[in-house]
């Protein structure tokens, strides 16, 4: 394999490129309206070039077209930004700003007549955006057309530019990983900013085994470092990149950009995240945002936080866009769905997230959690040490829609166990509140005939109660154990909808849910009593995924529930004996959690330094 690149600071350019003006996405499945919106007339939009026909108007007030001025004013040291573009033809280019309420103002404008590859430069002070607002440009033509290309937003550079390493963690997603690698290699300008690309392959189906790997490897050249290691989950894969940067390459100041293997990568994210990180007032975790891969116009969330008291991740920061169609408009205001109000994140998911090496040196490495909540824990640990997280608008990749993933899966174990660990480390960890919330959740699993999910929850609590030494192997044994445990419960198995065991085609009526009950507690009590008495409203029926709430499924003896992934169904059968056994086990486990919570919390806090140390990860990597 090619030798490793040295991660050293680079000489600063005359101007620091913060983002390019793009007019189309990296894939045909992506709408051009995410980049440039044609408000009137006709415009031909290509990736780096746009032809605006006569009597047309195009706005760059779009997700990828805006410059996030509010975030630059709040977190960075740049007082001014310059917009540069090359034009041919006639028309007008206007630099436009908004405020936190989305009200607009024109900052600068230039008329163009008969231009041939003419450079246009417009600048704006970044001084009136504290609470929100962005910058973009509009193009208007009259009787002639105008070609716009070479669009660049720049700020004054730092004294030196930090080196950047991209880390792709992969496990048996060979084609996805190769696609992400190829996407990075396909765009020379962002790739020029990357010193090293670490591909950490933890799978049994090796990425390097494919013929295409040679082609992609050649395109990345000496930047690529391909590493094989045992499966230590996402935490172990991404941490390997941090370890290589800090321990092997000894980078004093570097950006480490995590990238999931299964994203649709927008290479532009490298430019936007690294430029921002180069101009922050102090080292800052800079997160890329997530757009839905199955619904590419939709943004997952503008900024999120976790409620550590209730073990609830993915909480939407007030004022942040959520599940928003970025090509749509607000029904009340009629304004484009853009993030004008500045919202501050508690953490950022690691589908694409930049972590400065200085933060690693100050707070340690991630916990060996294997999977789930590793990004949340690290974000809150960094915050406790004075390092903020910024989810940067306009810096996004497309990732599989979360609501198309079924909650009843093996990963739920890690979600619950690691939530408890994170809460113990970074919150008051009130045992009464936590046990009450988990017990309510457990009861709904039992009523909904999700016995495997209930057992998964109890296993997560039991392993948490074993204390921090249980994390010594990085989660390898836990991953194997939870899969084995869940295999004992038939309803955890997904079946093709055309081949449901025990039922002939056409024998199952589709039974949809009534409206959500207004009084949950009485309904809960009634469903519980009926199950204990063996009473049911329906013997068997099919239930759509959207109707699979406990208060509906608990009406059945057998419910064939569509999986959230829409790839099959689960067969849930009432089992009173199993429900009673799990309930008794649950009562015991929750009593122990309540009783031992303060003791266990202390043990995790005492072990934090060791768990996040160089020595722990060196041992796990066998280095």
Work out the angle at residue 68's Cα, subtended by the Cα atoms of residues 163 and 296, and round it to the nearest 5 degrees: 90
Residue 364 phi, psi dihedral angles, 5° rounding: 95, 180
Q: What is the 3-state composition of the chain as percent helix, strand, coil, each rounded to the nearest 5?
A: 35, 30, 35
- Measured distance CA(115)–CA(111) in Å, rounded: 10
* DSSP-derived 3-state class of residue 536: coil
Residue 376 and residue 309 in contact, taking contact as beta carbons nearer than 8 Å? no
The closest of 343, 337, 320, 426 to 390, measured between CA atoms, is: 343
What are the residues whose beta carbons fall under 8 Å from the beta carbon of 502, sequence distance 6 or more?
Answer: 571
Residue 345 and residue 287 in contact, taking contact as beta carbons nearer than 8 Å? yes
- Measured distance CA(270)–CA(272) in Å, rounded: 6
Distances (CA, A) of 525 to 444, 449, 453, 512, 528: 11, 16, 21, 21, 5
pLDDT in tens, 224-264: 999 999 999 999 999 999 999 999 998 889 999 999 999 99
* DSSP-derived 3-state class of residue 548: coil
Quote the pLDDT of residue 531: 86
- Would you tell me how many other CB atoms lie within 10 Å of the CB of residue 388? 19
**DSSP H stretches of helix in 311-430:** 357-363, 374-384, 411-426
Instruction: Using the predicted structure, report yes or no on whether residue 6 has a pLDDT greater than 80.
Output: no
Query: What distance lies between CA 249 and its chain's CA centroid?
Result: 27
Q: What is the mean pLDDT of the segment spanning 444-459?
A: 96
Q: Which one from 375, 401, 408, 409 is the annotated catalytic residue? A: 375
Q: What is the mean pLDDT of the segment spanning 262-276?
A: 97
Quote the pLDDT of residue 463: 98
Instruction: Using the predicted structure, report yes or no on whether residue 3 has a pLDDT greater than 50.
Output: no
Q: Kind of pairing, strands 80-98 and 135-140?
A: antiparallel
Helix (H) or strand (E) holding 600: helix 576-611
Distances (CA, A) of 437 to 140, 309, 310, 416, 444: 56, 10, 7, 12, 11
pLDDT in tens, 86-106: 999 999 999 999 999 999 999
| DSSP string of 201-235, one letter each residue | E-SSS-GGGSHHHHHHHHHHGGGEEEEE----HHH
Instruction: Using the predicted structure, report yes or no on whether residue 443 has a pLDDT greater than 60.
Output: yes
Tokens 């009137």 identify what position?
A: 40
Neighbouring C-alpha atoms within 13 Å toward the C-beta of 535: 6
- Measured distance CA(550)–CA(563) in Å, rounded: 15
Instruction: Using the predicted structure, report yes or no on whether residue 126 has a pLDDT greater than 60.
Output: yes
How confident is residue 406, by pLDDT bands cut at 50, 70 and 90?
confident
- Measured distance CA(184)–CA(171) in Å, rounded: 19
In this prediction, what percent of the chain has a pLDDT beyond 70? 99
| DSSP string of 91-147, one letter each residue | EEEEEEEE-TT--EEEEEEEEEEEEEEEEEEEEEES-S-SSB--EEEEEE-SSS-EE
What are the residues whose beta carbons fall under 8 Å from the beta carbon of 36, sequence distance 6 or more?
Answer: 23, 24, 43, 45, 50, 58, 59, 60, 62, 65
Instruction: Using the predicted structure, report yes or no on whether residue 1 has a pLDDT greater than 70.
Output: no
What are the residues whose beta carbons fall under 8 Å from the beta carbon of 157, sequence distance 6 or more?
Answer: 12, 13, 14, 15, 16, 278
Q: What is the mean pLDDT of the segment spanning 297-316?
A: 97
Tokens 């051009």 identify what position?
A: 32
Tokens for 588, please give them.
Answer: 């015991």
Tokens 């970044």 identify what position?
A: 126
Each residue of 367-383: b (16+ CB within 10 Å) or e?
A: bbbbbbbbbbbbbbbbb
pLDDT in tens, 475-514: 999 999 999 999 999 999 999 999 999 898 788 999 999 8
Quote the pLDDT of residue 193: 97
Quote the pLDDT of residue 2: 43
Residue 162 and residue 122 in contact, taking contact as beta carbons nearer than 8 Å? no
Quote the pLDDT of residue 7: 86
Residue 503 phi, psi dihedral angles, 5° rounding: -135, 140
Quote the pLDDT of residue 507: 85
pLDDT in tens, 378-405: 999 999 999 999 999 999 999 998 888 8
Tokens 């040490």 identify what position?
A: 385
Tokens 């699979």 identify what position?
A: 548
Q: What is the mean pLDDT of the segment spanning 415-441?
A: 97
Quote the pLDDT of residue 333: 84
Q: Which residue has the higher pLDDT, 474 or 532?
A: 474
- Measured distance CA(248)–CA(241) in Å, rounded: 10
Query: What distance lies between CA 128 and its chain's CA centroid?
Result: 30
- Measured distance CA(618)–CA(368) in Å, rounded: 12
Distances (CA, A) of 342 to 6, 7, 75, 98, 298: 37, 33, 11, 12, 19
Q: Kind of pairing, strands 389-399 and 285-292?
A: parallel
Residue 563 annotated in active site: no
- Measured distance CA(128)–CA(108) in Å, rounded: 15
- Measured distance CA(193)–CA(275) in Å, rounded: 10
Quote the pLDDT of residue 171: 96
The closest of 235, 471, 556 to 365, measured between CA atoms, is: 235
What pTM value is reported for the model?
A: 0.95
pLDDT in tens, 187-225: 999 999 999 999 999 999 999 999 999 999 999 999 999
Q: What is the mean pLDDT of the segment spanning 348-360?
A: 97
Tokens 């321990």 identify what position?
A: 247
| 3-class SS string, 225-290 | EEEECCCCHHHHHHHHHHHHHHHHCCCCCCEEEEEECCCECCCHHHHHHHHHHHHECCCCEEEEEE
Quote the pLDDT of residue 487: 96
Average pLDDT of the chain is 95
């Amino acid at each position: 394999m090619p030798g490793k690149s040295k991660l050293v600071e680079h000489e600063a350019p005359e101007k620091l490129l913060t983002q390019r003006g793009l007019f189309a996405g990296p894939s045909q499945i992506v709408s051009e309206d995410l980049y440039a919106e044609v408000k009137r007339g006709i415009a031909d939009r290509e990736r780096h070039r746009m032809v605006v026909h006569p009597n047309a108007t195009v706005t760059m007030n779009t997700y990828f077209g805006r410059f996030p001025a509010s975030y630059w004013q709040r977190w960075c040291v740049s007082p001014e930004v310059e917009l540069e573009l090359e034009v041919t033809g006639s028309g007008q280019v206007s630099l436009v700003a908004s405020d936190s309420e989305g009200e607009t103002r024109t900052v600068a404008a230039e008329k163009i007549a008969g231009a041939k590859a003419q450079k246009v430069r417009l600048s704006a002070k970044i001084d009136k955006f504290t609470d929100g607002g962005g910058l973009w440009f509009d193009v208007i033509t009259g009787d002639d057309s105008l070609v716009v290309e070479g669009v660049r937003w720049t700020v004054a550079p730092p004294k030196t530019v930090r080196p950047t390493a991209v880390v792709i963690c992969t496990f048996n997603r060979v084609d996805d990983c190769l696609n992400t690698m190829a996407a990075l290699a396909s765009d020379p300008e962002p790739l020029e900013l990357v010193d090293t690309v670490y591909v950490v392959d933890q799978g049994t189906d090796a990425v390097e085994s494919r013929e295409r790997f040679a082609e992609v490897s050649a395109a990345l050249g000496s930047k690529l470092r391909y590493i094989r290691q045992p499966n230590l989950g996402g935490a172990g894969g991404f941490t390997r990149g941090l370890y290589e940067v800090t321990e092997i390459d000894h980078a004093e100041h570097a950006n480490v950009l995590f990238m999931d293997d299964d994203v649709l990568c927008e290479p532009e994210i490298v430019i936007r995240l690294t430029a921002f990180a180069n101009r922050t007032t102090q080292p800052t975790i800079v997160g890329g945002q997530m757009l839905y891969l199955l619904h590419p116009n939709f943004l997952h969330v503008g900024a999120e936080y976790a409620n550590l008291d209730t073990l609830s991740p993915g909480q939407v920061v007030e004022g942040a866009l959520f599940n928003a169609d970025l090509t749509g408009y607000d029904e009340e205001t009629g304004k484009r769905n853009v993030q004008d109000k500045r919202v501050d994140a508690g953490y950022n998911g690691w589908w694409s997230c930049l972590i400065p090496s200085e933060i690693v040196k100050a707070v340690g490495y991630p916990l060996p959690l294997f999977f789930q909540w590793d990004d949340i824990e690290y974000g809150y640990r960094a915050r406790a040490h004075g390092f903020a997280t910024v989810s940067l608008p306009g810096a996004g990749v497309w990732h599989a829609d979360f609501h198309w993933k079924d909650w009843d899966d093996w990963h739920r174990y890690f979600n619950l166990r690691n939530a408890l660990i994170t809460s113990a480390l970074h919150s008051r960890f009130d045992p009464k509140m936590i046990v009450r919330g988990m017990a309510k959740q457990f009861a709904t699993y039992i009523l909904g005939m999700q016995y495997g999910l209930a057992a998964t929850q109890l296993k997560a609590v039991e392993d948490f109660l074993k204390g921090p030494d249980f994390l010594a192997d990085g989660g390898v044994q836990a991953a194997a154990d939870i899969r084995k445990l869940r295999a004992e419960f038939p309803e955890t198995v997904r079946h093709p909808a055309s081949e449901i065991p025990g039922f002939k085609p056409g024998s199952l009526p589709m039974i949809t849910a009534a409206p959500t009950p207004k009084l949950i507690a009485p309904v809960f009590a009634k469903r519980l009593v009926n199950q204990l008495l063996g009473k049911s409203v329906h013997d068997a029926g099919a239930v759509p995924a959207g109707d699979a709430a406990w208060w509906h499924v608990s009406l059945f003896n057998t419910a064939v529930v569509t999986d959230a992934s829409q790839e099959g169904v689960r067969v849930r059968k009432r089992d009173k004996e199993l429900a009673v056994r799990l309930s008794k086990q649950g009562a015991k486990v929750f009593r122990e959690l309540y009783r031992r919570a303060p003791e266990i919390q202390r043990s995790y806090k005492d072990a934090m330094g060791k768990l996040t140390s160089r020595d722990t990860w060196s041992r796990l990597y066998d280095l």
